Chain A
Amino acid sequence: MSKRIEVNDLHVYYGNFLAVEGVSMTIEAKSVTAFIGPSGCGKSTFLRTLNRMHEVIPGARVEGDVLVDGENLYGPTVDPVNVRRQVGMVFQRPNPFPTMSIKQNVLAGVTLNSKKLSNSAADELTERSLRGANLWEEVKDRLDKPGSGLSGGQQQRLCIARAIAIQPEIILMDEPCSALDPISTLAIEDLINELKDQYTVVIVTHNMQQAARVSDRTAFFNIAGTGKPGKLIELADTQTIFQNPTQKATEDYVSGRFG
């Protein structure tokens, strides 16, 4: 249930502003790929092109191809709504739906797509998703309480449960731990490790230790200066990036000698 992503010469624009230039990379199935790089270098922007969330912003567009198991996400007949059902996303700040209970939040992706669920199927999916997000034990007695009553770390895991409830092929995470304390971060990192058995996981992080801990492969993005487009510098096994990078810029960044 996981797929490999191939990106060919992708340019990402906000209106006329070129935000990310000429990215080509392959993201392996059933692995964790981390994107690192300085702020504003286009990691998140690039990540959002992988499930066509980028184009939600007015004026935003891309040029180039993103192939998921050979199928182009930006093909003329592809419906972005379908892409997003296959490529789930977890955002920087936990964003459970405030009008819904914990259970409704987990099931939101399914029920909002007007699939009718029997009670037993709904219960089963809720439990499986919450277990998948390591949250079941903490919330099983209060599934009907609002999701916004949970702690930040729990909310983020609720969002992960919500994302895996629609059984995507790929999960994108945009700095999922940057608003969380170290203990919740650890919980999420453990979860990411488990998720890669089933899903292709792509994670953007500012925390290089985190990238080193959770990812199999790491991509380093950099930017030449303000107003210039971000670029992919190199993508390699995480160990190689942190210990023996081929590019000088990568070495400077991972060793903290940047800027």
Chain B
Amino acid sequence: MTTALVTPEEPKLDHGIEENPVRPAPRFAWLIVLLASFAASAALFAALGFSIVGVIIVGYVIYLIAVTVTYSAMAGRRKGTDQLMRSLIYGAFVLALIPLVSVLWTVISIGAPAISADFLTKDMYGLKGVVDKAVVEQGAPLQGGALHAILGTLIITAIATLISVPIGLFTAIYLVEYGKTSRLAKSIRFFVDVMTGIPSIVAGLFAFSLFGILFGIGTKNGIAGAVALAVLMIPTVVRNSEEMLRIVPNELREASLALGVPVWKTVTKIVIPTAASGLASGVTLAIARVIGETAPLLLAVGVTMKTNVDPFNGPMNTLAVYAYNLFKFPLNPGYRDPSLERAWGAVLLLVIFVVLLNLLARFIAKVFAPKTGR
């Protein structure tokens, strides 16, 4: 090793970094700028003719400019850029939130009144249009409910899960633990990716024609719907599970193999338990993804007004199809409002199901997560 002494007269290299000191800025300066920007915008629109959207857009643009200039002057250029980027990101966040909140608000505000004990315990069998006429003209209580759709959703989704979880999980295990980078594994990965993108109606047509060929044209039952949903679920389950298995550290596999444990046992006893929380929440999210499917179920399961809990026999109803059907073919075309209210009620139930599934996924992830602590 050679030691080079830095001589004092050696000139300092120009490294191109500008001196750009940062000074402290008042904590709530941005808030004052924000209020001032919107006040300015409101004043501008008051002169031109009021428009709430205009106030917000122009106010936001004014704020972007003002906050950058203010902070650059007060605290240095870096702080100014920081505030500009911050504001852009928060802006994007609020923008993304608007449709979400709006949908939730609409569903809850319109759907909530429809939900009652009757709505959860009765089906639509035998209801005539006069019932809805009475609701509108005499203020009678809403009759009929979504019991058949709730049961249908639960049964069909459960069967779809039973079909797709083993297939999806085993595929993922093959891809991560055995196939790795082999040609077969690569092509499976490619086709799974392709399957992720197929429109759900194609899955419905597939199940419809498969059951048509096997059991006669026009066969519609719960199993056909479950098959259609499974076609949509499998790629999601494979993808989620693959990611989860892949993040299991390779060191654990090696530790197990080095103890003389065969590969299949390493997978079942070490890899899967370690990944269990991720796998379970991945499956739950895959269920949430298909529970609201409409088109494939309309094709493969059909529609009925009657409670049918036998997935092997005859059409069933599901919440999304129920909502679609009541919207498209109201019980009484002259008096649509009660039917629309039922449809919104069904949609709200569906949203509640999805929220519950997501909470369940979090809960499962927590229960299965590898324990730490002393």
How many whole Å from B89's CB to the nearest CB in chain A?
A: 35
Nearest opposing residue in chain B for A101, CB measure: B371
Say whether B261 contacts A142, CB under 8 Å. no
Chain A residues 90 to 106 lying within 8 A of chain B, measured CB to CB, are: 91, 93, 95-99
Say whether A82 contacts B260, CB under 8 Å. yes
A98 surroundings in chain B (CB, below 8 A): 252, 274, 370-372
Whether A113 is near chain B, meaning CB under 8 Å from some CB there, is yes
Whether B373 is near chain A, meaning CB under 8 Å from some CB there, is yes
Whether B128 is near chain A, meaning CB under 8 Å from some CB there, is no
Given A98-B370, A146-B373, A149-B374, A81–B260 Cβ distance below 8 Å? yes
Mark the stretch among B51-59, B107-115, B265-273, B294-302 that contacts chain A: B265-273
Q: Mark A157-169, 1 if CB is under 8 A from B, else 0.
A: 0010011001000
B17 surroundings in chain A (CB, below 8 A): none
Say whether A112 contacts B371, CB under 8 Å. no
Chain B residues 341 to 374 lying within 8 A of chain A, measured CB to CB, are: 370-374
Q: Mark A107-128, 1 if CB is under 8 A from B, else 0.
A: 0110011100000000000000
Say whether A109 contacts B251, CB under 8 Å. no
Chain B residues 248 to 272 lying within 8 A of chain A, measured CB to CB, are: 249, 251-262, 265-266, 269-270
Given A98-B274, A99-B273, A84–B252 Cβ distance below 8 Å? no
How many whole Å from A117's CB to the nearest CB in chain B?
A: 15
Say whether A85 contacts B260, CB under 8 Å. yes
Say whether B256 contacts A108, CB under 8 Å. yes
How many whole Å from A115's CB to the nearest CB in chain B?
A: 11
The CA of A166 and the CA of B255, in the complex, are separated in Å by 13
Whether B328 is near chain A, meaning CB under 8 Å from some CB there, is no
Given A81-B262, A98-B274, A146–B371 Cβ distance below 8 Å? yes
How many whole Å from A47's CB to the nearest CB in chain B?
A: 11
Query: Which of B254, B259, B266, B269 has the most A CB atoms < 10 Å from its CB?
Result: B259
Whether B138 is near chain A, meaning CB under 8 Å from some CB there, is no
The CA of A56 and the CA of B253, in the complex, are separated in Å by 10
B269 surroundings in chain A (CB, below 8 A): 112
Whether A58 is near chain B, meaning CB under 8 Å from some CB there, is yes
Whether B3 is near chain A, meaning CB under 8 Å from some CB there, is no
The CA of A142 and the CA of B371, in the complex, are separated in Å by 14
Picked from B255, B274, B372, the residue with its CB within 8 Å of the CB of A91 is B255
Say whether A163 contacts B374, CB under 8 Å. no
Given A109-B259, A162-B259, A97–B270 Cβ distance below 8 Å? yes
> Could you say which interface size class chain A belongs to?
20 to 34
Given A112-B259, A145-B374, A58–B180 Cβ distance below 8 Å? yes
Nearest opposing residue in chain A for B265, CB measure: A112
How many whole Å from A80's CB to the nearest CB in chain B?
A: 9
A96 surroundings in chain B (CB, below 8 A): 255
Say whether A91 contacts B251, CB under 8 Å. yes
A85 surroundings in chain B (CB, below 8 A): 259-260
Chain A residues 51 to 105 lying within 8 A of chain B, measured CB to CB, are: 51, 53, 56, 58, 81-86, 88-89, 91, 93, 95-99
Picked from B180, B276, B372, the residue with its CB within 8 Å of the CB of A149 is B372
Q: Mark A137-167, 1 if CB is under 8 A from B, else 0.
A: 0000010011011100000000100110010
Whether B2 is near chain A, meaning CB under 8 Å from some CB there, is no
B7 surroundings in chain A (CB, below 8 A): none
Nearest opposing residue in chain B for A83, CB measure: B260
Say whether A84 contacts B373, CB under 8 Å. no
Given A95-B252, A97-B252, A97-B274, A89–B371 Cβ distance below 8 Å? no
The CA of A150 and the CA of B276, in the complex, are separated in Å by 22
The CA of A95 and the CA of B288, in the complex, are separated in Å by 35
The CA of A99 and the CA of B269, in the complex, are separated in Å by 10
Say whether A53 contacts B249, CB under 8 Å. no
Q: Mark A204-229, 1 if CB is under 8 A from B, else 0.
A: 00000000000000000000000000
B255 surroundings in chain A (CB, below 8 A): 91, 95-97, 159, 162
Say whether A109 contacts B257, CB under 8 Å. no
The CA of A56 and the CA of B276, in the complex, are separated in Å by 24
The CA of A166 and the CA of B306, in the complex, are separated in Å by 63
Whether B102 is near chain A, meaning CB under 8 Å from some CB there, is no
Nearest opposing residue in chain A for B269, CB measure: A112
Nearest opposing residue in chain B for A59, CB measure: B181
Picked from B249, B258, B270, B370, the residue with its CB within 8 Å of the CB of A84 is B258
The CA of A163 and the CA of B261, in the complex, are separated in Å by 12
15 CB-based A-B contacts, threshold 8 Å: A53-B258, A56-B254, A58-B180, A58-B181, A81-B261, A81-B262, A82-B260, A91-B251, A97-B252, A98-B372, A108-B259, A114-B265, A142-B374, A146-B372, A148-B372
Closest 4 CB pairs of A and B: A85-B260, A109-B259, A98-B370, A89-B258
**A99-B371, A114-B265 provided; 10 other pairs, C-beta below 8 A?**
A51-B258, A83-B260, A84-B259, A84-B260, A95-B249, A97-B256, A109-B259, A145-B374, A149-B374, A163-B258
A residues near B (Cβ < 8 Å) are 51, 53, 56, 58, 81-86, 88-89, 91, 93, 95-99, 108-109, 112-114, 142, 145-146, 148-150, 159, 162-163, 166
